[in-house]
Chains A and B, each alone.
Chain A
Amino acid sequence: MVKIAVYPPNSLILADLIERKGHTPLVLQKQIRQKIKDPEIDSPPMNITEDDPIKGLKYAAIEVPSGVRGRMAIIGPIIDEAEAAIVVDGAPYGFGCIGCARTNELSIFLLRNKDIPVLELNYPTNQDETYLMVNQVNEFVDSLEETDKEEE
């Protein structure tokens, strides 16, 4: 079983395709769940604390806006844990859950630099492109299975 990071990190289609093959998708919702179930948070509606921008320093420099660092405190552990990644490029405006273009760029940069297999896809707009995307994801996930077996 391989832990695969997906980008956008809340994607239904990518996470579902990975789960169908028996692997674990690393999605943002799990991170958020950890965050809201944390008993150390005093006032539950405010789930971002002052510690988050400090945690984000592991991924971004001090000059980087605190919004990026705060977001990286949640997305960063996904990147650390990832053993492979699937990234969707060329998505329309408003696609994804981050709400910050710089965080998106930084996260994709860190995933590409991490020396793990990365599959980059184009956002599909019609039936043929969707077929191609599904085939590419399935082939990529199968190739991970093979390397996993070889290592064992």
Chain B
Amino acid sequence: MSQNLTMSPDLGTEDWDPDVITRMIFIGPGAHVSEQEIVTAFHMLDLPLTIKNTCYGSMISGKSEDVYKAIKEIRKLDPNHIFTKERGFAPGDPRRCRGHRFGPREGFHQMEKEYRILGFVANALENPKDVEIEEKKPVSVDEFKKIMNDCLDNKE
């Protein structure tokens, strides 16, 4: 298990800067853009950001002002299918990055669960409509008794 122990990271000035933030960009199912297109669009913005291409979309890190500006621009590509989320650790931080240790990254399971309904959320944002859901109620005692008696009578 010693391989799984997190190593002491070699932190640079950016890692200690409280104004530097990291955000994850998710592309929902059925999106009209690909991960690569998103990364290229980030590069074309010409902002001082660290951009990482990932399987779910991308991850960007930089000064908060630049990050929010980039996200605002990138959302315009496909507003209903691009979702973003904060991330505490910088991209490639050895305390979280799978490149340095075994097992899934912390936070992966949550991401996996939420990704399953992300397509429905994107549909709801694209075509909003009112829905009513019938709540399942337990069978009342009287009705249950009636069914039970009917069954017993039929048996005889």
Contacts and interface: CB of A to CB of B under 8 A. Distances in A.
B153 interface: no
A2 to B, nearest CB: 17
A23 to B, nearest CB: 14
B62 to A, nearest CB: 14
B7 interface: yes
Given A15-B86, A96-B110, A97-B107, A34 B18 contact: yes
Is chain A's binding surface mostly helix, strand, loop or mixed? helix
Interface stretch (B9-17, B30-38, B47-55, B143-151): B9-17
Best-buried of A16, A45, A96, A127 by chain B (most CB within 10 Å): A16
Nearest to A132: B131
A129 B85 contact: no
Is chain B's binding surface mostly helix, strand, loop or mixed? mixed
Nearest to A16: B83
A12 B131 contact: no
A48 interface: no
Nearest to B23: A29
B63 interface: no
A120 to B, nearest CB: 15
Contacts of A121: none
A2 B135 CA distance: 32
Q: How large is the interface on A (under 10, 10 to 19, 20 to 34, 35 or more residues)?
A: 35 or more
B14 to A, nearest CB: 10
Contact of A37 (B16, B26, B109): B16
A10 interface: yes
Interface in A90-140: 92, 94-97, 124, 126-135, 138
Contacts of B7: 45
A132 to B, nearest CB: 5
Given A43-B8, A134-B121, A92 B86 contact: no
Interface string B78-96: 0000011111110000010
B45 interface: no
Contacts of A97: 106-107, 110
Q: For the complex of A and B, list the 3 residue pairs with the smallest distance between their C-beta atoms, beginning with the closest.
A: A32-B88, A130-B120, A29-B86
Interface of B: 6-9, 11, 15-18, 21-22, 24, 26, 83-89, 95, 106-107, 109-111, 113-114, 117-118, 120-121, 123-125, 128-131, 133
22 contacts: A11-B110, A12-B83, A12-B111, A13-B83, A16-B84, A20-B125, A29-B86, A29-B88, A33-B88, A35-B88, A37-B15, A44-B8, A45-B95, A94-B109, A94-B113, A97-B107, A126-B120, A127-B123, A128-B133, A129-B133, A131-B123, A131-B131
